[in-house]
């Protein structure tokens, strides 16, 4: 046996998560995956036991295998076997496991154990495709099932005891950071145009330069077909791409190969996105800010309030996400280090800490994109402003309308006018006056 090590791991610690088996070829296992916590947890073992009770072969498939090999967190556990969905549901029901027919026409059901979902799919082949959906037939051929998958790194499978099967060189592609379609790239995209956007997403998360040439040619040829996709599917891919540690190269490729103009034509600020990512990853102390897809989306687009609203609708963003995108892409006020401290307090009070922090980061990134690297003194000024925003404690105006009524003011517009006057006085004083001081000012205005 020899050990496959994920490239770039210079920690010096033992990285033997996967062992290559010499002489493995064809339908034989290529290697052995070390025991994984997600494989050995009770909920997972219970699902596997239910599916294999009659001697069926079950394997983990796709992303969980890929991420386990490169020692990334495994979030979704998918399994496959040759039984039709009805038989799968029967086995799970017999084991008293909750089962949901999430995609039964395509052979997929979801088992739920202790609140954890396990997606289980019957081995299948595509019978007919139209670029958006496919009609499938079930099979017992593991290679045929792997052939219909999108990328080589997603076509690997693993038995519960860790034996890994790799029919298309996915392990080598994973080691070299190569995102390669299974078989002919044009054919794979023709089966499902969403794979075009998935290529750039996986390139952002797992790829290295140079990108696969055949894949890029196919993406360019099919670029105008992404308009056939639903807004929900496009949103998922765009936001997941933006969540990559460094999505800049993927977006640059999408622009140079005429994909971006069909899926996100507003994305003209790649320089601002690059600088925002730099601030998040390197320019600020670790842990200062977290990666946020909506903030990054606001950084890369250039649009009006109406355009941002239309973009939010087109991507089927939630109401909260759409309003946030509008507030960040088209800010109501400008932020810069030379802003008077009291003005920063006003912005924090009126718009909230989270929004102001986002706008500081976006303004800082825009300045760096326009002027290039900032002087150290300028960077310190931005950092001071950001720290003030991050440490600000939300303020609550200590009076209510009933305080004016208690002071003798009749219900009506005079109450609102007086409250606004006292609140303005409180704000101009830096939001520090307490309730007693605000009441005194109220009585002074009444007097």
The model's pLDDT over 173-208, given as tens digits with 9 standing for 90+, comes to 999 999 999 999 999 999 999 999 999 999 999 999
Average pLDDT for 156-169: 95
The overall average pLDDT reported for the chain is 91
Average pLDDT for 41-57: 96
Phi, psi (rounded to 5 degrees) for 8: 90, 0
Write down the pTM of the prediction. Answer: 0.88
Query: Which pLDDT score is estimated for 12?
Result: 45
The single residue listed with the structure tokens 């499938």 is 136
What is the C-alpha separation between 259 and 265, in angstroms, rounded? 9
Q: CB under 8 Å to 222, separation ≥6 — which residues? A: 186, 189, 190, 193, 196
Query: Which pLDDT score is estimated for 16?
Result: 60
Please say if the pLDDT value at position 3 is more than 60: no
Average pLDDT for 266-283: 96
My answer on whether 74 and 147 are in the same domain is yes
Question: Which tokens sit at 135?
Answer: 């009609």
Average pLDDT for 125-139: 73
**Domain of 36?**
2-176
More confident: 27 or 84 = 84
Q: Residue 217: inside a domain, yes or no?
A: no
My answer on whether 312 and 420 are in the same domain is no
Please say if the pLDDT value at position 1 is more than 50: no
My answer on whether 381 and 405 are in the same domain is no
My answer on whether 53 and 28 are in the same domain is yes
Query: Which pLDDT score is estimated for 2?
Result: 39
Please say if the pLDDT value at position 81 is more than 60: yes
The proportion of the chain whose per-residue pLDDT surpasses 70, expressed as a percent, equals: 93
Per-residue pLDDT band at 132 (split at 50, 70, 90): low
Query: Which pLDDT score is estimated for 103?
Result: 85
Query: Which pLDDT score is estimated for 15?
Result: 53
My answer on whether 337 and 386 are in the same domain is yes
Query: Which pLDDT score is estimated for 301?
Result: 98
Q: Report the 10 Å Cβ neighbour count for 231.
A: 13
Q: Residue 186: inside a domain, yes or no?
A: no
Domain boundary among the residues 145, 176, 207 is at: 176
Tally the C-alpha atoms within 13 A of residue 269's C-alpha that lie toward its C-beta: 24
For the chain, what is the domain count? 3
Q: How far apart are the first and last CA of the chain?
A: 91
My answer on whether 38 and 157 are in the same domain is yes
């Amino acid at each position: 046996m020899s050990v496959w090590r994920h490239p770039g791991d210079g920690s010096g610690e033992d990285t033997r998560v996967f062992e290559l088996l010499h002489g493995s070829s064809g339908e034989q296992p290529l290697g052995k995956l070390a025991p994984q916590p997600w494989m050995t947890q009770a909920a997972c073992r219970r699902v596997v036991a239910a599916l294999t009770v009659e001697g069926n072969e079950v394997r983990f498939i796709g992303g969980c295998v890929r991420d386990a090999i490169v020692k990334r967190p495994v979030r979704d556990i998918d399994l496959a076997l040759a039984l039709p969905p009805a038989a799968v549901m029967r086995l799970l029901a017999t084991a008293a496991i909750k089962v949901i027919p999430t995609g039964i026409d395509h052979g997929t059901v979801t088992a739920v154990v202790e609140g954890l979902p396990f997606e289980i799919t019957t081995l299948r082949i595509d019978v007919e495709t139209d670029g958006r959906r496919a009609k499938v037939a079930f099979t017992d051929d593991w290679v045929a099932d792997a052939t219909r998958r999108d990328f080589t790194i997603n076509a690997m499978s693993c038995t519960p005891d860790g034996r890994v099967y790799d029919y298309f060189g996915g392990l080598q592609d994973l080691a070299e950071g190569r995102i390669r379609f299974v078989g002919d790239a044009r054919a794979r995209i023709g089966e499902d145009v969403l794979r075009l956007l998935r290529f750039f997403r996986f390139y952002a998360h797992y790829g290295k330069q140079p990108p696969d040439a055949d894949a890029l040619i196919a993406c360019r040829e099919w670029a105008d077909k992404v308009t056939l996709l639903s807004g929900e599917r496009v949103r998922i891919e765009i936001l997941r791409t933006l969540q990559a540690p460094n999505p800049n190269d993927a977006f640059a490729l999408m622009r140079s190969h005429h994909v971006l103009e069909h899926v996100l034509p507003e994305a003209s600020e790649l320089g601002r996105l690059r600088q925002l990512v730099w601030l998040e990853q390197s320019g600020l102390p670790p842990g200062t800010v977290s990666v946020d897809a909506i903030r990054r989306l606001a950084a890369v687009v250039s649009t009006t309030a109406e355009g941002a609203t239309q973009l939010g609708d087109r991507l089927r963003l939630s109401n909260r996400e759409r309003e946030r995108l509008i507030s960040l892409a088209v800010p109501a006020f400008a932020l810069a280090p030379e802003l008077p401290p009291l003005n920063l307090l006003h912005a924090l009070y009126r718009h909230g800490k989270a929004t102001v922090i986002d706008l500081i980061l976006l303004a800082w990134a825009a300045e760096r994109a326009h002027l290039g690297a900032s002087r150290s003194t300028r960077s310190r000024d931005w950092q001071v402003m950001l720290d003030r925003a991050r440490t600000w404690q939300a303020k609550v105006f200590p009076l209510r309308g009933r305080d004016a009524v208690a002071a003798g003011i009749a219900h009506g517009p005079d109450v609102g006018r007086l409250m606004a006057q006292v609140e303005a006085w409180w704000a101009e004083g830096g939001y520090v006056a307490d309730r007693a001081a605000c009441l005194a000012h109220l009585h002074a205005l009444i007097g």
